[in-house]
Structure 1
Amino acid sequence: MTSHRTPHLDETSLTPEQQRIYDAISGGPRGKVEGPLRVWLQSPALADRAQALGAFCRYDTLLEPRLSELAILVTGAFWKSGFEWAVHAPIALEAGLSERIVEAIRRGDEPEFERDDEAEIYAFARQLHETKQVDDAAYDAVAKRFGTRGAVELVGLLGYYTFISMTINTFDVPLPEGQEDPFV
């Protein structure tokens, strides 16, 4: 069900600027224009810049997909962003996160990790979201494993998916068809 806040995007009457960005998104690795990307197209300049940052954050950071998806799930759960969760939980499982970890994050419980890299990403992401800071132990663990560049890219990924989640929540972006809200 679409809310009155969810902007309608008529794909048959896009402006030339909207069409250019729509084509860039649909022709890129995402393959489709959905969720918050449709909202952002109401402001083509914002959509253009945001989708480019998003493509980098999702596909081109130093973090392997298993770890970037873990950070995305921590963010989606923090914001209780149903659309984000519905899209990324299956991707996280496919990338190698265990169902046990995914479900613990969804419930708001701290997962038991078998892999140190996952525990390090989780601690960093959770601390930054919940306390607005990252303590030395969490920062040092990420920086030791991924370098300063990796820490910077992780912060960028967390910030970008916070923006995604804020868009989803503000504009009542509906869940993909057939999905139920994972946070009710």
Structure 2
Amino acid sequence: MSAPRVPETDGEGPTAELLRARRGGQLSALDRLLLHSPPVAEGWNALLGALRGGTTLAADLRELVVLRVAVLNDAAFEWAAHEPIARRAGLAGPQLQALRRPDAGREPVWTPVQAAVLAYTDASTRAVTVPEEVFAGVRAHLDDRQVVELTALVGGYAMVSRFLVALQVPPPPGEVAG
């Protein structure tokens, strides 16, 4: 396994303890890199904590977004860290396989709300602009709060994936807490 472009920190200090608290006691390689900048690590921790545990989006939708962004941005770490979580959230093998295909939204494995969220994730990640018909598809299933949460989730995990890919963080050997 290769090493990231920036060495990991020792994972000590008050900011590291904040990250450990959110993650159940363990730091990931991502956390150890973020700790080079405690203010960034603290903000990241607060944002990702809110996205992972403070939204009203169903867990399957949240993990659908995370994994699709991982595929679109070629973030192997993100996929490896979230695939087990996605399975526990109810995404099945055929859905996980479909997420890896360019035309994932056309697969007959999605509920209507999952298909709408997938189309929104693809549009926002690939082109940033979300066409009106894609937005309308999400609005048919989600309220105002959930649309805001979905949009922040897509953008938040785009940030995560870009960080991981730019610093060439290798996939973890096991599951990483969200």
TM-score between the two structures when normalised by the length of structure 1: 0.86
> Once the two structures are superposed, what CA deviation does each residue of 1:114-147 show, in whole Å capped at 9, x if it has no partner?
4111111101101111222112222122223222
CA distance in 1, matches of 2:59, 2:36: 30
1:22-61 equivalence runs, <5 A: 22-61=16-55
Please name the residue that 1:158 is paired with.
154
Structure 1 equivalent of residue 6 of structure 2:
6
Q: Which runs of 5 or more residues in structure 2 are unaligned?
A: none
Which residue of 2 is the match for residue 147 of structure 1? Answer: 143
Q: Distance in 1 between the 2:56 and 2:23 partners?
A: 17
Q: Please give the root-mean-square deviation of Cα atoms over the aligned residues, in Å.
A: 1.8
Residue from 56, 69, 74 that aligns with 1:75: 69
1:66 partnered with 2:30: no
Counterparts in 2 of 1:55 and 1:4: CA distance versus 1, 3 Å: closer
Where 2:143 maps in the other structure, the secondary structure is helix
Gap change, CA 1:63 and 1:178, over 3 Å in 2: closer
Amino acid at match of 2:3: S
Deviation track 1:86-128 (CA, whole Å, cap 9, x = no partner) reads 0111111110012111111123341323411111110110111
Cα displacement string for residues 21-69 of structure 1 (whole angstroms, at most 9, x for unaligned residues): 2111212255421132221111000000011100111111121111000
Identity, % of aligned positions: 29
- Alpha-carbon distance, 1:161 to partner: 0.7
Where does structure 1 differ by over 6 angstroms across 4 or more consecutive aligned residues?
none
CA distance in 1, matches of 2:87, 2:149: 22
In the TM superposition, residue 158 of structure 1 has moved relative to its aligned partner by: 0.9
For 2:132 and 2:52, the matched residues in 1 are separated by: 26
Mapped contact 1:77–1:108 kept (Cα < 8 A)? no
User: Aligned residue pairs: how many?
Assistant: 173
Tell me whether 39-48 or 132-141 shows the greater mean CA deviation.
Answer: 132-141
> Does the CA-based 8 Å contact 1:101-1:112 persist in structure 2?
no
Give the Cα–Cα distance (whole angstroms) in 1 for the partners of residues 25 and 10 of structure 2. 18
Q: Tell me, yes or no, if the aligned pair for 1:139 and 1:151 is still in contact at 8 Å.
A: no
Q: TM-score, normalised by structure 2?
A: 0.89
